[in-house]
Structure 1
């Protein structure tokens, strides 16, 4: 079965990666720069599959139109699927994803944010470029012996935990489904969220975005945390109530924050907005704080990850075309 695929929210690196991998599949691919939404869903007419990324809007209205246009499968080239209305898709259109394109990439990037914030490397870099070699204000702390609280212990978190344990960092973990064997192997402790908030010097978010985890970092949870806590988010933007995060930073309850995601990121991330005024006051405030690092959802962005994303995405579509079991199907 020959498949015609419409790709949305594509950048040059996406096209290069998918075109290379597609040499082994031979699909007909149409690339579009905009992310899928109700205004451009008409572009999906006469295609068999649609491929989207994290900022697409696949709500009930869009799903209805995809089905009406004859689209048979919606392929996410990412792990998260909170932007897809699975109820609307059920029994009407298949939804597949890439569950683990490069957990090492995200885990390593998470550590990079921790180290950069702790040792003020971003500040030192800017200073020395201007000829300022003073050390005032650059003091960090030894991570050895400190406690990291890891919320969610999936593949990415487990790699991060092993790295942190190799640095002699104590780890408290929270997960709805604790992995006792992993805890025993690594010497970590599963605990309650409240205890994790109270005892952690660093808190890193690795849980999926669900109704239960939305704004898991909020005014109340921040109040339970240590003074000067570091918060890292390489998961989903809406895990953090950004207004409350900024208040915590202003009050110095939160010592620093590393954010590779942002709850309103779709208007800015993956785009060059350097010549346009940032009219999102919250994002502008975050960018103005020298103890906050905001990056553009790039934790996944390695050569290996892009290759794995392309290979798994196209294999998902090929399996559908061949009538095989969809091992990466998302259902409710």
Structure 2
């Protein structure tokens, strides 16, 4: 099969090459899929896209017109793909579901520990030969109450890690996981109870119409001012301006995030020689109580290998005219 890989990153290409095993003809493009770049797919049966690519209705129509029949998503989330339109067009779409729950969960814990133990400030002070501890007093995780919004594969791993720290764990999801209750003494409660009682809140849900801006000024008003928010899911789960206002007013203690709601065209690219045009993003970067990483939680050798293997497993199934368990249409 002829395959076009959109948004191909230099660090992932070796994993994709290994998974392909020289079976398919693969072309790599560092360009994002957009309405303007869809024409690159002319002559390809399969396109593979990433979370920052645009697979909205008009783009899908154009891909269909260009002869594309299959779309693989090198991510678990698929909020950037109009699945309903894909079904109407007869495009087969599959994601890389559950490729890296440990990679992403561990990154979430890393964000939390860096905030709680002031590791970024500590490193900056040491680099300046300042070895004073006066500004570096943190707090334990042990005995803290942690709210986990979304107990899918990533949320489950976070629960297990936090249980090892001795945290009290509150969960919220549309479906309760009995194993988390019996094994880790987790409690399923309402969102209000999580907002009201948590010292730390993790966002682990997919982006849907129900979860869009699940954290806004109304949710923040229910929280303690010492709360730490950690977002390793999607940027639009939080109303960023409301987060900024709360951080500046000290209504929340800190925000750790690996995602940003307007990251398309910014994250995954080197803009070190260009001034940012996004004032909201610049404010996030400038605030001392924000720890922002550039959507890197998935970037481990194990996760990249799993993504590549899942991607080509799906393509191989399609090549054999078989169904694949990761199909979304």
Flag whether TM exceeds 0.5 (same fold): yes
Deviation of 1:181 (Å): 3.2
1:321 and 2:314 equivalent? no
Residue 277 of structure 2 corresponds to residue 252 of structure 1: no
- In 2, the alpha carbon distance for the partners of 1:64 and 1:286 equals 36
Does 1:99 pair with 2:97? Answer: yes
Return the TM-score normalized by structure 1: 0.97
Structure 1: gaps spanning 5 or more residues:
none
Give the Cα–Cα distance (whole angstroms) in 1 for the partners of residues 85 and 199 of structure 2: 42
SS in 2 for 1:90: helix
Is 1:84–2:77 an aligned residue pair? no
Shift, 1:137, TM fit: 2.1
Would you say 1:15 and 2:32 are equivalent positions?
no
2:68 corresponds, among 49, 64, 71, to: 71
2:176 matched residue in structure 1: 178
For these two proteins, the number of residue pairs brought into alignment is 328
Looking at structure 2, the residues matched to 242 and 150 of structure 1 have their Cα atoms a distance apart, in angstroms, of: 20
| More deviation, 138-147/194-203 | 138-147
1:231 equivalent to 2:266? Answer no
Alpha-carbon distance between aligned partners in 2 of 1:193 and 1:181, rounded to the nearest angstrom? 20
Q: Find the residue that maps to 2:12 and give its secondary structure.
A: helix
- Aligned counterpart, 1:271: 269
1:24-47 deviation digits (Å, cap 9, x = unpaired): x61100111111010010111111
Partner of 2:148: 150
Report the equivalent of 1:262: 260
Where do 5+ consecutive residues of structure 2 fail to align? none
Deviation at 1:162, TM superposition (A): 0.5
Q: Distance in 2 between matches of 1:69 and 1:273?
A: 32
In structure 2, what is the Cα distance between the partners aligned to 1:117 and 1:182?
26
Once residues 275 and 47 of structure 1 are traced to their aligned partners in structure 2, the CA distance between those partners, rounded to angstroms, is 35
* 2:134 aligned partner: 136
TM-score, with length taken from structure 2: 0.98
User: What's the CA shift for 1:153?
Assistant: 0.1
Q: Distance in 1 between matches of 2:134 and 2:100?
A: 38
1:65-102: per-residue Cα shift (whole Å, max 9, x none)? 11111111110010000000111110410000000111
Deviation string 1:238-267 (CA, Å, 9 cap, x unpaired) is 001000000110111110111100000112
Runs of 4+ in 1 over 6 A off after TM superposition: none
Q: Which residue of 1 aligns with 2:44?
A: 47
RMSD: 0.9
